[in-house]
Chains A and B, each alone.
Chain A
């Protein structure tokens, strides 16, 4: 099957520091790919590169590589697209959910208006049509009493509700690719499960391919079809989720899997035992 999005040999630098080095992976239509790794491994920068937002307020630069994206008018390289074309793609064909639902919404506007913004911008809907679309999206992401919620401000909503609003915003233009940068990290565990379940259902309903970034192996096992493991700016291992969990080839992957605590693993111990620093060298 032809990949929808194909990252080829991507290298991103911040000044003299290389945040992403020679990363390649494919995202297939309708599948869910997880990029896992510890903090600073370059997974978020990879995601931002696909949106071409790495230069945001920093000195980030895509040094080399290509990001091939299949559109109805043929394959385009997102690294080389002019900024204006990128703006038409962002939020429309590729959209993104961020880590912090508490700060990802603008505090001075009602949430409904913020979701409407995206469809007005990309699909040229009128205010009224946009409001109808927002209502539809709020129903899709299972926000209770959607008509009431639309006129609320972000501070009147809980974290889980705000993340649903963010997902509604991201999906409002029927994107082909949804990038979720640690969508559940800031939420508590029961809400995490709800949001992950929602994302899985939505992928089936909308057919969007999902790129999910996480450091949580539990999340990976829960939702992903394919996994890319990153460490220190490089891809360590990639494969299907079953291959990876059943027979990890690399030490680092094994260490990452072993780092998830199991229920009862602390039984009989007085306090958490310090464990050895995992150093991974290829």
Chain B
């Protein structure tokens, strides 16, 4: 799958962009020329210069260093949200076609209930309940994107689970886990991969919106969304300020969506882009 993805022009490009972003997130803090929290009262809101490649913010902190440090937090947060969504979406999704009516009914109703919750309000409520932290906020986001995973998994697993060869395997004594792994999962995996990629993009946007609003993050810690917010406040003093964090968000999210498209082309799995768009629209 990876090989055909690399041969896909869009897929290869998006993978390269994402790899670069991940590298930035992993090694960025080491490369950062300054401490992202260090304030310099003599250099407030400076334009890009040799000393500060991307300038400084309202407290004299180096924007490049903050961006690099913020990548780690933002990406980790998005990954966490997707991981939570994967676990509480895919597992019941697979089991719902396999364990029979009562389980199916209960999980469907729970997922329907999740769908009705608005992202931001739920995230705010969760952080109010569990304490303001990125992990809590991402748990909330993970819970809210799980219905997308649940439905995609179910839709892909449903026709396979009722295929005669699966029924035959089950009736002739193959253990349930074996049947799921061997016969059902390979058919479901491409669809899940596509939705993972596009939901990763969607959660990045959600993370950015949340941190933009100051939810899930304590002020000095840098994130892309948070930097966008502080830069926006000083838009008149430094009009180019929001440009770089915004670009980073756009490029990364775009690469995620492009990757999802490429994955769909390569595997022939159905697209989740439309439902990801719905997710964005709700934010």
Are A and B subunits of one complex?
no
